[in-house]
Homo-oligomer: A and B are copies of this chain.
């Protein structure tokens, strides 16, 4: 091994699916790696809606990044907020003035939800990207039932028991199924003035179908599964206004005290750091080898970029695409160090997967489609498999089995931001 000061320095920004896959694929390479994230944990985002709806606890789907790379002495983990990139000096700039030098850089900074120019809607219709988003949403959901129990005005009570979810992609569909099950199963018999099972869950979608990225027959299946659970699905309804207790669309007006945003994403500000060209959602337009145009040593992957798959369609913004991008970027770095060449990134779509409540799921592997309880068990086992660590797999398996058998959700806590909540 050469002197570590002379080794090739790889900096990875972001410890999500893409960043971790890159680090994994660089194992054994003659490089020093620094991973920078503004959070101390990797988050298993596909299950975040289950934290928001009280089925799982934050620590069941999040792990300290530095623990995940503990046995890789060549990997250094830094908790820090990136504010810019100096391409000439090859430095990543941190908010606290820190500068981290790189030879190769992998940007895997993901995306956040977006309001298409209506940022003023955010306080009324929060989205779901972080653990804090999830515990805040959990609090909102549970407080609505608590307030309804004490409300005597029937109209206000009805609005408190109406939950509007805007956007019927996977997050919106999964949230809708989970919220109605929370109301109809877990909270049943616990209130004295209200019947939580009479809560309305309304899923509002601008497009013509739910789960637009799935095949039409699976979209139709998902819609009917949602309706069977009791969710009201409204399609072709672009939302025109959101206020504290009202959603307006197409002349209609829905009074709902709890409004959830599941409609759009905006990439991280990486394009700005680099002065790179981006699409309307802020995603960097990368080359076919996932490098940033003009910067062959800077890779960008996952939700923060836009790139075409071999079939000519855009690579979707899902965890597996980020993983494939991370592995590819790592393999290019390894090949260059060995003086070899690598062909362009070729995204391989493994399938689409979504769940509706606790007994239906849809899986489309292309060559195989699964729905109903077979789909649900496959979905559950696949997600348990992809969780990190045996302890978490056992823990989530028990939590799910418990809900499945008893209906009791284990994380029904109303907690507050620690500072200034006045609710201690």
Complex: A79 Cα to B146 Cα, angstroms: 6
Q: Is A142 close to B, CB under 8 A? A: yes
Q: Which residue of B lies closest to A401 (CB)?
A: B391
Q: Is A135 close to B, CB under 8 A? A: yes
Query: Which positions 50-66 of chain A face chain B at CB distance < 8 Å?
Result: 57-60, 62-64, 66
Contact A391 B410 (CB under 8 A): yes
Q: Which residue of B lies closest to A415 (CB)?
A: B131
Task: Mark A residues whose CB is within 8 Å of B.
Answer: 38-41, 57-60, 62-64, 66-67, 70-71, 73, 76-80, 96, 98, 112, 129-133, 135-136, 142-143, 146, 149-150, 189-192, 389, 391-392, 394-395, 398-399, 402, 408, 410-421, 423-424
Q: Which of B59, B136, B143 is close to A413, meaning CB atoms less than 8 Å apart?
A: B59
Contacts of A420 in B (CB 8 A): 417, 419-420
Query: What 5 A-B pairs have minimum CB-CB distances, sorted nearest first?
Result: A417-B417, A59-B411, A136-B418, A79-B146, A57-B59
Contact B150 A98 (CB under 8 A): yes
Contacts of A135 in B (CB 8 A): 415, 418
Q: Which of B59, B60, B133, B414 is close to A41, meaning CB atoms less than 8 Å apart?
A: B414
Q: Can you list 26 contacts pairing A with B, beta carbon distance less than 8 Å?
A: A40-B414, A41-B412, A57-B58, A58-B413, A59-B411, A59-B412, A59-B413, A63-B412, A64-B412, A64-B413, A66-B190, A71-B189, A73-B192, A77-B192, A130-B424, A132-B415, A132-B416, A132-B418, A135-B418, A136-B419, A389-B408, A391-B399, A391-B408, A391-B410, A395-B395, A417-B417
CB distance from A66 to the nearest CB of B (A): 5
Given A392-B410, A394-B398, 15 more A-B residue pairs with CB atoms under 8 Å apart are A38-B423, A39-B423, A40-B142, A41-B412, A57-B58, A63-B412, A64-B413, A70-B190, A80-B150, A112-B424, A130-B424, A132-B416, A391-B408, A395-B395, A417-B420
